[in-house]
Amino acid sequence: MRTERTQAARAEARGEVASADGAIVEEEGARLVKEPSRRRAGLAVVTGASSGIGAALAPRLAADGYDLLLVARREERLRELAERVREAHGVQARCLALDVTEEDALERLLEAAPEPAVLVNNAGAGRFGPAVEASPAEQARIVRLNCESLTRLTLGYLPGMVSRGRGVVVQMASIAGFQPVPYFAVYAATKAYVLSFSEALDKELEGSGVRVVSVCPGPVPTEFQAAAGSGDAAKEPAYNRRTPEQIAEATARAIARPRPVVTAAPYHGFLRFAQRFLPRRTVLSVAARKMRQRGI
């Protein structure tokens, strides 16, 4: 009786593709039929993975063959998501319950995932409303999460990616980073930082095989909107909103074919272009009026 190894060798000689574990699925006459192998794209680390865009991105990256390390504070949600992804896509999916603003966050991430192919800095927070009414402590935490933690994780992982000659860092930025936004001042400022920092890094890394990509969503109906007190994003005009799944799709495409700044809606690309040529006071007035219309 032929062994699986002999069968696999004969199949390879015929130019057939073996399954991931090399096992024979069935035999038709003299022709060996094998399952197509699942392409392994490497490991993707996704922060803020317990809900919203992060939770939508996990299965999308798994569909592209990425194993996953899912990171967020809510462990139970991570475990449920990881189980769904493993069952649906047959990839490895691990969980790390972690607040990325903690001092040892980078150390713990590097221990859990020392050589990822992709890092997605998706964890973020914001708060709508007049700045003079905001909690200083809460706004400081937003800066720590959106800027300091993102910077620490990015710079912690980039040297290894550069030494390996490959890798993609995805920063979840925002169209709010294209201009100042009254009544969303701190959040918009943090996203402007993310854009500036990431575009500069991407240029520095030119020719290294490593890219830094900023994905810039607009309104997306997620738990972020409720936590930020911004109202229901689902009520935004269709041209101005996207679903978490649409942002996940745009992100996956950006990983496959990186470019410095990615918008998921044509209207947002137009805004990015147009605001460069409008007077600053006009941009501010339009942004303030838009926020007031949302009841801020």
pLDDT single digits (tens) 220-267:
866 666 665 555 555 666 556 689 999 999 999 999 999 999 998 777
Determine the pLDDT at residue 40. 74
What global pTM score does this model have?
0.81
Determine the pLDDT at residue 295. 65
Crossing angle of helices 105-112 and 150-164, rounded to 10°: 30
Determine the pLDDT at residue 1. 45
pLDDT single digits (tens) 139-196:
999 999 999 999 999 999 999 999 999 999 999 999 999 999 999 999 999 999 999 9
pLDDT single digits (tens) 37-49:
356 789 999 999 9
CB-CB contact of 234 with 221 (8 Å): yes
Q: Write out the residue limits of the CATH 3.40.50.720 domain(s) in the chain.
A: 42-293
Which residues are the active-site residues? 187
Q: What CATH class is the domain 42-293?
A: alpha beta
Structure tokens at 68: 């996953």
Angle at 10 between CA 5 and CA 13, to 5 degrees: 125
Whether 18 has a pLDDT exceeding 60, the answer reads no
What is the 8-class DSSP label of residue 115? S
